[in-house]
């Protein structure tokens, strides 16, 4: 009977120690903290253009400016810049960025859509893909 009690106590002690070690487990590797926004600045992006009035579509590699998790300017590289602030009479809408992340929460890409309506009333849609 004493042997049975001793063996039971020994098994209990071993099992208890295993559980305590498991609860204190810390991984050797951890992924860096992920970000929920892109840093403000200029980014190279694929911009798909669609003029809804003429049905013209094209795709370009352009620079876009990100501020406060939104695309706020599109640089066409020829001195022509679209932004929400203008004196040309066009209206800028959209630009809010949607992020793509991997399984660890790291940003893998970003998308946004900007619509510009100018004096010819044909909305021009810019679908923006930042990688």
- pLDDT-derived band at 118 (thresholds 50, 70, 90) equals confident
Q: What is the DSSP string of the chain?
A: -HHHHHHHHHHHHHHHHHHHHHHT---S--PPPP-SSPPSEEEEEEEEEEETTTTEEEEEEEEEEEETTEEEEEE-SSS-EEESS-SSS-EEEE-B-EEEE-TTS-EEEEEEEEEEE-TT---EEEEEEE-
- Per residue in 68-84, pLDDT tens? 999 988 888 887 777 76
Answer whether 0.75 is exceeded by the pTM: no
**pLDDT, tens digit (0-9, with 9 covering 90-100), for 78-111:** 877 777 665 567 778 888 999 998 888 888 889 9
């Amino acid at each position: 009977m004493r042997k049975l009690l001793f063996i039971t106590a020994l098994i209990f002690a071993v099992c208890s120690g295993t559980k305590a070690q498991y609860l204190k487990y810390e991984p050797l590797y951890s992924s860096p903290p992920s970000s929920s926004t892109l840093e403000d600045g200029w980014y190279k992006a694929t911009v798909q253009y669609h003029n809804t009035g003429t049905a013209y579509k094209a795709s370009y590699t352009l620079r876009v400016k990100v501020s406060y998790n939104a695309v706020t300017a599109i640089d066409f590289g020829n001195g022509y810049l679209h932004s929400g602030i203008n004196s040309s009479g066009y209206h800028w809408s959209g630009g809010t960025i949607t992020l793509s992340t991997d399984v660890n929460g790291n940003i893998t890409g970003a998308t946004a859509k900007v619509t510009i309506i100018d004096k010819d009333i044909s909305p021009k849609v810019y679908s923006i893909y930042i990688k």
